[in-house]
Amino acid sequence: MTATAPPTAPPEVSHGRLADNALGLPSVLFCIVTGAAPLTAMLFNVPVAVNGGGWAAPAAFGIATIALTIFSVGYIAMSKRVTSAGGFYTFVSRGLGRVVGVGSGLLIALCYMIFVGAVIGVMGYFAASTVETFTGLALPAWLYMAVGLAVMSLLAWFHIELTAKVLGVMLVAEVLALIVLSLAIFVAGGAEGFSAAPFDPTQVFGNAGALQIFGTTAAGIALFAAFWSWVGFEMAPNYAEESRDPHRIATIATYGSVIGLGIFYMFVSYAFVTGWGLTGSVQAVSDQLNGTYASAFYPLSDRFVGGWLTVIIEILAVTSSFACAMAFYNTSARYLFALGREGVLPRVLARTSKHHGPGVAAMTTTAIVALYMLGFTLYDPSTEAALTKLGTWSPLLGVLGILAVQALVCVAIVRYFLTTGRDGFNVLTTLIAPVVGCAAMVGACYLLVSNRAELAAAEGVPFITVLPYVPVAIFVVGVVIALVLRARRPAVYAGLGHFTLTDPELDSPQLDSPQEVAR
C-alpha cells in the first residue's frame, strides 16, 4: 500500500518513505530491548532502587511492570489503528489535536536525544575505567564518547537491518551474562537463603533496611529507577513503517518487551538482594556509593562465579551502553524524520539515505547530541562526571518528559476511541486501561520531581532546580510552532500527525471535518 498523498492533497503535503519490509519481529525486538539496555539497567538502576527502597527493589520493578503493562493495553489498541514513524507524536495528534500533538512530538524527540547523550556518557565512563583497569592507559571519557557517537552516525547511514543485527548480538551477550550470574547465586542459596520480603510492594515505602543503612527511604527514587529501566519499550510503532507486519509485530514487541523485561528485572534484582542478603544488599549499595567498588554486582560475580565473569560484565557494560544509546539514537532520528516530513521542522529532515534510512535526521541528531554532551564536558571534563552528571542528571529530565507524554498519550487514546475510532471502542482496553495508566504516569512524575535533588545528589544545582520547567518550555515551543503553522500555512497544518500506513484515507486533510482541522 502506498503512503503517498492522494492527488487531491495539497502539493505541500509530501512524505518521505523509510525502507519497506526491512524488519521482522526479532529485529524490532532487538531495537526495542537494547534501548532498555538490560545489563546497564541492572548495574546502574538496581543500586539506585535499593538506595531508595532498600531490599524491596524487586517489588519496585514489579510495580513498574504492572503500570507499564496496563499502559500498553491502550497503546497497542491505538497502534493497530495508527501506524507511523511518528509514534507518540502521531497518537497525541490524532487524539488531542495537532497543537498538543506537535508540542508532544517536539518534547519526545528532544527527550530521546537527551537519553542518547546520557547513555553515551555512561558508556564513556565505563570505557575509560575499564580500559585503564586492563591496560593502565588513562584516556578521558569524552574521547570514548566522541568515538561512540561517530560510530552511531556511521551505522545510521546503512540499512536499518545492519543496526538491528549489531544490537541483537550485544543484547544476547548481556542477557546471558546476567542469567549466568543470577543462576549461580540461586544455586548457591545466596548469602542468607531465600526470602519473599523483596517482592512485598509495601516494603518499597519505609523499608527497614534502607532506614537502618541510609537513615531514610524514598519510594520515588526506587520507582524512578524502575521506570527508567524501561525507557524505550514504546519504540515499536516508530519502526512500523519498516516492519514486515506492523500490526502483529507492534503488539508482540511491546507486550514482549514490557512483560519480558519486567520478569527479567525482577529475576536479576532478586538475585542481587539474595546474593548479598537483605540488609547486606543495602550495605553493599552504600559501599558502592562511597567508592569501595565500581559496582556492587562485581563482588557477586567474583564470589559466585569467578573473576572471568566480572571481566566479561565490565566489557559488556561498555557495549550495552553503546547499544542502548544506538537504540535511542535511531528513535530520535525517526521522530525528527516524522516532524520534518510533515513540515513541523524543516522538510530536509525527511530526506532519506540511499538505504532508505532517515539520513539527514540522523546527522541532525548527531549534531544536537554532540552539542549537548559538549556543554556537560565543558562544565566538568572529568571521567567521573560523565557518569555522575551527564549520565545521572540527564535521565531525570528525559524520564520526566517521557512520563508526561505517556500520560498525554493515555488521554489521547481515550478521546480517539470516543470520537474518531468509536468502532474500536472497548471499555477495558481503550478506557479503563488508559485512565489507570495515566494515573500511574502522573504519580511517577510527581515522585520524580519531588525527589529530583536526592536522585541527582546535587542539591541547589541550577540544572536540577529548573528541571521540571524544561519539558514544559519545550512543549510550549512546539505548541507555538503549531499555532504559527495554523495561521500561516493551513495546508501544512491540516496534515500534521495524519501520515499513516494503516488508514491512508486520513492522510488527506480534506477528509477531516472543519472542527478536526482546527484542533
Query: What is the sign of the dihedral through the CA atoms of 472, 361, 373 and 164?
Result: positive
Q: What's the CATH code of the domain at 345? A: 1.20.1740.10
Count the Cβ atoms, other than its own, within 10 Å of residue 140. 15
**Is 403 in contact with 443 (CB distance < 8 Å)?**
no
With respect to residue 13, please indicate whether it lies within any of the assigned structural domains.
no
How far is residue 128 from each of residues 1, 145, 290, 385, measured CA to CA in Å?
A: 49, 10, 20, 12
Is the predicted pLDDT of residue 361 greater than 80, yes or no? yes
**Is 376 in contact with 389 (CB distance < 8 Å)?**
yes
Is the predicted pLDDT of residue 506 greater than 60, yes or no? no
Confidence of residue 247 (pLDDT cuts 50, 70, 90): low
Read off the pLDDT of residues 52-78 as tens digits, 9 standing for 90 and up: 889 999 999 999 999 889 888 888 888
Read off the pLDDT of residues 306-353 as tens digits, 9 standing for 90 and up: 999 999 998 888 888 888 888 788 888 888 888 888 888 888 988 876
Is the predicted pLDDT of residue 238 greater than 80, yes or no? no
Q: Output phi, psi for 500, to 5 deg.
A: -160, 160
Q: How far apart are the C-alpha atoms of 374 and 159, rounded to whole Å? A: 29
With respect to residue 18, please indicate whether it lies within any of the assigned structural domains.
no
With respect to residue 5, please indicate whether it lies within any of the assigned structural domains.
no
Q: Please state the rounded mean pLDDT for residues 170-183.
A: 88
Write down the pLDDT at residue 14. 40
Q: How far apart are the C-alpha atoms of 157 and 19, rounded to whole Å? A: 12
Q: Which helix (H) or strand (E) holds 262?
A: helix 246-276
With respect to residue 380, please indicate whether it lies within any of the assigned structural domains.
yes
Burial class (CB in 10 A: 0-12, 13-18, 19+), 25: middle
Q: Which residues contact 303 (CB under 8 A, 6 or more apart)?
A: 275
Residue type at position 81: R
Residue of 179, 217, 193 whose CA lies nearest to 273: 193
Higher local confidence (pLDDT), 297 or 91: 297
With respect to residue 10, please indicate whether it lies within any of the assigned structural domains.
no
- Domain containing residue 155: 25-518
Q: What grid cell was written down for 499?
A: 501520515
Q: What grid cell was written down for 429?
A: 482496553
With respect to residue 53, please indicate whether it lies within any of the assigned structural domains.
yes
Q: Please state the rounded mean pLDDT for residues 507-516.
A: 43
With respect to residue 486, please indicate whether it lies within any of the assigned structural domains.
yes
Q: Whole-prediction pTM value?
A: 0.80
Write down the H helix ranges in 136-199.
141-156, 160-188
Is the predicted pLDDT of residue 234 greater than 80, yes or no? no
Q: What grid cell was written down for 199?
A: 517482592
Write down the pLDDT at residue 80. 76
Q: Please state the rounded mean pLDDT for residues 16-29.
A: 56
Q: What is the CA radius of gyration of the chain?
A: 22
Residue of 224, 292, 174 whose CA lies nearest to 57: 224
The number of distinct structural domains making up the chain is 1
Residue of 519, 460, 459 whose CA lies nearest to 494: 519
Confidence of residue 488 (pLDDT cuts 50, 70, 90): very high
Write down the pLDDT at residue 513. 45
With respect to residue 229, please indicate whether it lies within any of the assigned structural domains.
yes
Q: Please state the rounded mean pLDDT for residues 42-55.
A: 89
The residue assigned the cell 557494560 is 317
Residue 294 DSSP one-character state: S
Q: Please state the rounded mean pLDDT for residues 439-447.
A: 88
Q: How far apart are the C-alpha atoms of 411 and 159, rounded to whole Å? A: 35
Q: Please state the rounded mean pLDDT for residues 382-401.
A: 89
The residue assigned the cell 527514587 is 221
Read off the pLDDT of residues 270-298 as tens digits, 9 standing for 90 and up: 999 999 999 999 999 988 888 788 789 99
Confidence of residue 8 (pLDDT cuts 50, 70, 90): very low
Helix/strand/coil (H/E/C) assignment for every residue in 37-59: CHHHHHHHHHHHHHHHHHHHHHH
Q: What grid cell was written down for 290?
A: 562511597
